[in-house]
A and B are shown apart, each in its own frame.
Chain A
Amino acid sequence: MSTVIVLAPLIVAGWPAITAAVTAAVATMGFSVARAGVANQQFASTESRTEIEVENSEVLRGAAGTGQEIVVERDGVRATFTRDPRGALKICMEGKGHSKSDLKKIGEELLGRVTQQYVYHRIVTELKERNMSIVDEEVAKDRTVKIRVRNF
């Protein structure tokens, strides 16, 4: 082993790439996509609600993206992913009978999975472009993805 480098992920992508990452990632937590399209946020007053701004993100402005949202649900918990006015990714968590801190915890876990999925896709795409081979890949119990790469 010669070098160990830790990188902090940045999400910089157009809305289609964000949608793809969200769709793939949320399924691993038992969520399913309820709606994807033009934003139409309506909140029931009886539901708890909390928002998470994703600091290290930029949803690129484009024909597809502005004013769009993707809504995912699981057991009465709803997460709505949108692009905020500054261009960052935002998640709005709602759910009846859940505390704000519960919703925030679920939202942060969702965000982690989306980030992981996005990063995985970027890495695999880059490896293919550079003709590098993945010789082994596994998902550990803690859901860490491990990829071994060989450059011939």
Chain B
Amino acid sequence: MAHEEFEIEISPQGKVTFRTKGIKGPRCLDYAEVFAKIIGPEESRQLTSEYYEQDAEVQQHNQMKQRRT
């Protein structure tokens, strides 16, 4: 599995922008939610195309499952 990366920016006012990179599917939200718990409430959320892509392993698993049925 590829390394998962994310970027955190803390503004001079303490506001936090959290960007995930290379994490496909809804799992990227898991990371963001961990930090929301310790930092504070979510102000905005923007999901990009990668969010709607599936992780390669999940995709392979689903294809194999479909072939069996």
Contact = CB atoms under 8 A, between A and B. Distances in A.
Interface of A: 1-10, 56, 109, 112-116, 118-120, 122-123, 126, 130, 135, 142-152
Given A7-B41, A10-B41, A2 B47 contact: yes
B14 A4 contact: no
B48 A122 contact: no
A152 B3 CA distance: 6
5 contacts: A2-B50, A3-B23, A4-B17, A146-B9, A149-B8
B14 A2 contact: no
B18 A5 contact: yes
Interface of B: 3-24, 28-29, 31-32, 34-36, 38-51, 53
Contact of B15 (A8, A126, A146, A151): A8
A2 B8 contact: no
Given A2-B50, A5-B32, A10-B39, A116 B21 contact: no
A91 B34 CA distance: 30
Given A2-B24, A7-B39, A148-B6, 13 more contacts: A2-B20, A2-B48, A4-B45, A5-B32, A6-B45, A7-B41, A7-B43, A9-B14, A9-B40, A112-B14, A148-B7, A151-B3, A152-B3
Contact of A123 (B8, B19, B41, B49): B8
Interface class of chain B by DSSP? mixed
B18 A116 contact: no
A120 B45 CA distance: 21
Interface class of chain A by DSSP? mixed
Contacts of A148: 5-7
Contacts of A118: 14
Contact of B23 (A2, A119, A120, A143): A2
Given A126-B34, A144-B9, A7 B42 contact: yes
